[in-house]
């Protein structure tokens, strides 16, 4: 196996998982903090052995942290991305606590692909910004029936406000300066990571279909956290509010 900057990982799924995490952390230095708070709230509200739906799971980053922290938990990962799902399935092969399904969240029938009718927690991070507000509100209405009474839904994502343009500009400039320093030290960005995946003999066949499905970049309209909380209440959650915030991102929780 060669290093991420110079060659293929082959079938070393742990290396691919670690590489994805590093690439994501380049964009979000506080990524682990949001995961910690997310799992804190899962434990506080559902206990240490939850059944979890990892929605738009990618490589299974949430599932990985969930099962390390809560060995008695079980997780279902759902995504449409064939390349990231290949990494997830390879990484968790042989672990009967984790299962992965392929489904399109824009298809109203996607819940039928799940192995369970209800979950203690539905969790997602840095994924739903691909959807426009109308599609996201519809998705929240489909998620609500999957969460058992007393269960939770959490979405951690970019949730900028529209009322603080100077603060937002300063935060963005500071964050990007840090990203530039990390790039100079060898960090991979999104394009470079996908180019590496496309060069790998195991993953290459799934990379092209992935871009045919999604395109290059997200096209959602990234509503603010107040919109998310309101949409969750309208979808059927009894309570909803922000439980974690960075200068650019938020973690919004809905309690059934």
pLDDT tens profile 54-85: 999 999 999 999 999 999 999 999 999 999 99
In the predicted model, residues of the chain with pLDDT beneath 70 are 1-10, 216-218
Q: How far is CA 205 from CA 198, 208, 237, in A?
A: 8, 7, 40
What pLDDT sits at residue 11?
72
Tell whether 1 is covered by a domain: no
Is 6 domain-assigned? no
pLDDT number for residue 4: 42
**5 in a domain, yes or no?**
no
d(CA 112, CA 108): 9
The reply to whether 8 falls in a domain is: no
Block residue for tokens 């979890």? 52
Q: 109 burial class (0-12, 13-18, 19+ CB within 10 angstroms)? A: exposed
Q: Taking a C-beta distance cutoff of 8 angstroms, is the pair 1, 15 a contact?
A: yes
**Beta-bridge partner residues of 135:** none
User: What was the pLDDT predicted at 217?
Assistant: 65
Looking at the DSSP assignment, which residues form a beta bridge with residue 55?
78
For residues 250 and 256, what is the distance between their CA atoms, to the nearest angstrom? 20
Question: In this predicted structure, what is the pLDDT of residue 5?
Answer: 36
Query: What is the pLDDT at residue 65?
Result: 98
Range of the domain at 32: 13-255
> Residue 211: what pLDDT?
85
- Asked whether residue 54 is domain-assigned, the answer is yes
pLDDT of residue 141: 98
Contact, 159 vs 249, CB < 8 A? yes
Query: For the chain, give me the number of helices (H) and strands (E)?
Result: 9, 7
Q: Report if residue 90 sits inside a domain.
A: yes
Mean pLDDT of the chain: 92
Domain count for the chain, please give it. Answer: 1
**Is 117 part of any domain?**
yes
pLDDT, residue 216, reads 67
Looking up residue 237, the CATH number of its domain turns out to be: 3.40.50.150
Q: What is the pLDDT of residue 178?
A: 92
**Domain presence at residue 7:** no
């Amino acid at each position: 196996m060669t290093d991420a900057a110079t060659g293929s990982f082959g079938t070393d799924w742990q290396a691919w998982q670690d590489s994805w995490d590093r690439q994501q952390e380049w964009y979000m230095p506080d990524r682990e903090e949001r995961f910690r708070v997310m799992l804190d709230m899962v434990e506080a509200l559902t206990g240490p052995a939850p059944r979890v739906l990892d929605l738009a799971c990618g490589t299974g980053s949430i599932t990985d942290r969930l099962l390390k922290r809560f060995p008695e938990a079980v997780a279902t990962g759902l995504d449409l991305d064939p390349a990231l799902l290949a990494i997830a399935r390879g990484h968790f092969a042989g672990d009967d606590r984790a299962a992965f399904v392929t489904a399109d969240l824009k298809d109203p029938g996607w819940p039928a692909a799940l192995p369970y009718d209800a979950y203690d927690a539905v969790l997602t991070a840095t994924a739903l910004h691909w959807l426009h507000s109308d599609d996201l509100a519809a998705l929240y209405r489909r998620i609500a029936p999957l969460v058992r009474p007393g269960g939770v839904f959490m979405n951690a994502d970019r949730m900028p406000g529209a009322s603080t343009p100077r603060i937002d500009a300063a935060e963005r400039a500071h964050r990007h300066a840090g990203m530039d320093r990390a790039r100079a030290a060898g960090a991979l960005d999104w394009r470079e990571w996908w180019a590496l995946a496309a060069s790998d003999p195991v993953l290459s066949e799934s990379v092209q279909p992935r871009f045919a499905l999604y395109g290059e970049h997200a096209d959602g309209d990234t509503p603010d956290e107040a919109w998310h909380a309101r949409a969750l209440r309208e979808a059927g959650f009894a309570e909803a509010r922000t439980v974690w915030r960075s200068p650019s991102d938020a973690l919004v929780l809905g309690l059934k």
